[in-house]
Amino acid sequence: MSGVGFWPPSVLEVVFLLLGLVAVGSALLVVTTRQLVHAALWLVVCFGALAGCYLVLTAEFVAWVQVLIYVGAVVVLLLFGIMLTRAPIGRSDDLDSGNRVVAAVVAVATAGVLVSVVVGGFQHAYADLRPGAGSAEELGASIFRNWVLPFEALSVLLLAALIGAIVLSRTDIKGRR
């Protein structure tokens, strides 16, 4: 419980809401645009706005990792996938399947349930933002002191995924008969 009201919003909240608006709007464009490449580029805008949200929430290391990995690596991978599958580059009207209406109903129902639950559950919660809680120093100490075993397991997982992707995408590797 806190005595901080919703009005007037602080400068941080206004910045966060604007960035969130950009993220939600570009995410809507990702799922509705008719051009495949534009969807990947709107995804860049969405991830960039989310990185800004992390910065506002004082999670600066996560924000830069988001920029490096999502904007830098994942979107480039997706663009490679678009090119390698010889997708249509211009407008194409068959990107949506026939169940758009059902999907929209399910999505609106999901949004209604989730928004009403989080508004009902956290309407009095107030996070006091203090800079430095998400710096590289803090997070590095936390990872290498308390989260070493999951970190190592994740490294092995990443290696396995790498080898698996190579094996799946090469055509000259034959299985044992």
Partner 1 sequence: MHVVYPAVVAALLFSIGVYGVLARRNTILVLMSVELMLNAVNLNLVAFDVWLRDVLHSGQVLTLFVIVIAAAEVGIGLAIVLAVFRTRKAIELDRLRELGEP
Residue whose CB is less far from partner 1, 13 or 91: 13
Residue whose CB is less far from partner 1, 17 or 91: 17
CB of 176 to partner 1, least distance (A): 18
Residue whose CB is less far from partner 1, 173 or 177: 173
Q: Coil, strand, or helix at residue 12? A: helix
> Which residues on adjacent β-strands are paired with residue 103?
none
CB of 145 to partner 1, least distance (A): 9
**Residue 75 to residues 14, 45, 65, 68, 96, Cα–Cα distance (Å):** 28, 11, 14, 10, 21
Longest alpha-carbon distance in the chain: 70
Residue whose CB is less far from partner 1, 91 or 111: 111
Q: Of 82, 20, 11, 65, whose CA–CA distance to 45 is shortest?
A: 20
Contact of 2 with 124, CB cutoff 8 Å: yes
CB of 109 to partner 1, least distance (A): 9
CB of 94 to partner 1, least distance (A): 7
The single residue listed with the structure tokens 């509705």 is: 32
